[in-house]
Structure 1
């Protein structure tokens, strides 16, 4: 069975915009046809386009050519070299000049429609392999996850239904997340394609940039953002225009931030739960509940290695290692990830809980715990990194002791300018260990002077 690239909406609907231009769905189809005719004959394409519209055109053109889009978790050169080794019949499609030189590069070209452009919306078999995503690397070396067109299209339909999107009504999405990440791929690529919502070509990062781009939206926009960026908007009291809703994912959203954002922006703040392996599968609104409700057609049940997720559009069930409390087949509470569980002094907690407590302290802009490797069968040691301008280490630790058990208070707490979050807001363990090495070296140097 074929599923269409675009949902049921008029082709004169705006599909992408920035501060100076807008692009219709009809132009999108013409650009897809023009680019598809120029793509080299390869099996895989590493879509590195930063302009979200370029990414969308590149993804659709590759689908037309039956090419599989590779979506790495980062732009680090050694990661790309590994991909090229694993997928030798690949090339890079990009609109950026600082592209790692690891394979044949095609820069996104100027596009001109041919004399007779077929504007019929293309459809693709559900079984067509559309993309290969990769785990974020926060728990080890990235692993490939196959994404078939039927699964990602139906995931988008289920997610859009949960968000009450309507292809018959114009909407807009301002997204701060990259399209190569699974959250960004769903919320800023697939949702616009399936529901006809205009999406910003740019990827704002700072709160003021978010405000400027949101104000340029052709209609009242939704804001797709990460918890760290939402916190920044709240702390800076950013004066955003009216929003239809705020959507957060990619990392846990502290309930205090969600509640304050709802009050400040006068819009529902929603959160998606998912993984690279499953895509988004559930949502919640902190104002109403701390439990997650799965999308229509998605079910959960207990499993010895975590919990099992089944969906009408999955090729097979998926086991996730997160520790959850199953309330029923459609609802669950997240306790933490199996790899995040911490046991010290006969007591147990999770990094998820510890990070939330740390991030909700007054004056803390960002923060995270790190479990150092246990040595000689000793219990693990906790270290914390905190971004808290104007705060002292002692003040932060004193506030933290009022919220967590003394056995989980970090042995070392470092005040830093920023945390090494990637473009999706995640904190890869490798980067956190490098940050620890840097702080230890700085401390040693200071002690030797």
Structure 2
């Protein structure tokens, strides 16, 4: 991981430079190296007070490949050999490399704990406290977590009932121990094959799946992001949102890996963020599309606060026309980049102009589109997108899923559907987002994009509904009490869509179901329609 080397370098050359900044706390590079020693001291103390179960996370064997470090199984046995005795990391020894998880809404302290542990033999994880309790328990029990920083009494009780032998402390207790205990030894740059982070998929279509990133994989990921997304030395970046989001976590990592300053926020408030942007000299913002849109609305009213903003980086492909229009009108001096990536794979490509649907693949990223039988499809045909990249993880932890990420040749998929034309990629959603109606293959996200500027609709979701004659038809579900009537919707659609893409049915709901990250859940929306809970217009 390049974080530790850069932290130590900047601590020597520019000790006063801000490293991590919260709404009410901040830490410089000069302080961060010493802070990491205190963080590590607490982890060692908790590990000694609560000896971990002797576990080994053993990899699955994939045909034609050496064992991989992150297709892991949890097995009770004696501690495995040290990583240096092996030709690759295929385990996490809970005694040598504790798995430390933080489940907190405090973005500043979560960020500094992760940064502090980067220079030691630890695997760090962030668990979203808004996940269902049973999933949090399953993750802690099944992935080798031995130290948990969490204020949740419900989680503590559930883990105790399940017989978990690890240590859970509140954030306040963790900080008290930092003040009390003597610091650990100095941090150091670690070997590339050592596991560094345990991450989780977005959970858009299922419960979040766990996987590991080695330090070498993260170095490869930073090489891509630093070449295209400009986390430059000394640049102040605002990255609001929970550190359990891979987007926010990646922003923290790339800032520290480049010697920049990362400004984090527990919750997002557009007005408060605009004041921080002005007061702290923020020139770069990395955020989800909804946050970018909110900032653009504030910038329209208070443009002077955004005078220094040069770059807006939005996570997620196919940035809506509404958001792109809002940014262009309110922040004409700022560039807008919408990148596509997956936490498991890393940064893949981005869109910088036009209608936002054409994604240019980054150098070094290989892509292909495959058909249902695994055959590689010609350019322009719709199929499942497969990526090969140095930053890609090796597989999911089976405690959280039995799904495989990579094939025997190192190609990986998160089941996005796409068209590929040379190095230009067009995303069309997940497998369930492509439906056949009347013999035509239709992309539901393409249908939704046509309604991005529909007056009166706060948000829309296209779903497939069963039909006696056509097999299935497209149904459009509108969010908002002031949504337009069906005639208006259909007239709007016919002006913008091919006939087979025009919805046959229109529904309205007060609020569309979403993930904790704010993404609309298509399957849950379809269930509302099927169950009669959506009002048909």
TM-score interval w.r.t. the shorter chain? 0.7 to 0.9
Measure, in 1, the Cα distance between the counterparts of 2:141 and 2:320.
Answer: 40
The alpha-carbon distance between structure 1 residues 434 and 222, as it changes in their structure 2 partners (threshold 3 A), is: farther
d(CA) in 2 for partners of 1:115, 1:420: 48
Q: Give me the whole-angstrom Cα distance separating, in 2, the residues matched to 1:136 and 1:289.
A: 22
Q: Provide the residue aligned with 1:38 in structure 2.
A: 42
From the superposition, tell whether residues 210 and 379 of structure 1 become closer, same or farther in structure 2 (CA, over 3 Å): farther
Deviations 1:272-306 (A, max 9, x none): 10113202221121248743223343222344442
User: For 1:184-221, what per-residue CA distance to the aligned partner results, in whole angstroms no more than 9, with x for missing partners?
Assistant: 2212x21121122222231443432332332332x233
Long gaps (5+) in structure 2: 53-97, 160-166, 375-383, 395-409
1:333 aligns with one of 426, 440, 449: 426
Task: Work out which of the two has the higher radius of gyration on C-alpha atoms and give 1 or 2.
Answer: 2
Where do residues 140-155 of structure 1 align in structure 2 (5 Å cutoff)?
140-155=206-221
- 2:495 match: 402
Which residue of the partner structure matches residue 5 of structure 1?
A: 4
* Equivalent position SS for 2:244: coil
Unaligned runs of 5+ in 1: 445-449
- Inter-partner Cα distance in structure 2 for 1:375 and 1:403: 24
CA RMSD of aligned residues (A): 3.3
Q: Residues 431 and 48 (structure 1 numbering): CA distance in 2 closer, same or farther, change over 3 Å?
A: farther
SS across alignment from 2:155: coil
Shift of 1:249: 1.3
Q: Could you tell me which of 308, 326, 329 is aligned with 2:386?
A: 308
Residue in 1 that maps onto 2:137: 81
TM-score, length basis structure 1: 0.83
Q: 1:238 to 1:385 in 2, by over 3 A?
A: farther
Q: What is the aligned counterpart of 1:291 among 342, 350, 358?
A: 358
Deviation at 1:353, TM superposition (A): 0.9
Equivalent-residue separation in structure 2 for 1:413 and 1:339 (angstroms): 20
| Length-normalised TM-score, structure 2 | 0.71
Map 1:199-348 onto structure 2 (within 5 A): 199-217=262-280, 219-234=281-296, 237=300, 239=302, 240-242=305-307, 243-250=309-316, 252-266=318-332, 267-287=334-354, 290-304=357-371, 305=374, 306-314=384-392, 316-328=410-422, 330-348=423-441
Count of residue pairs the alignment pairs up: 433
Matched position secondary structure for 1:29: helix
Distance 1:57 1:186 in 2: 14
Conserved 8 A contact 1:69-1:130: yes
CA separation in 1, counterparts of 2:179 and 2:527?
Answer: 47
Residue 27 (structure 1) aligned to one of 23, 26, 31:
31
Per the alignment, do residues 383 and 100 of structure 1 end up closer, same or farther by CA in structure 2, a change over 3 Å counting? farther
Q: Does 1:360 align with 2:416?
A: no
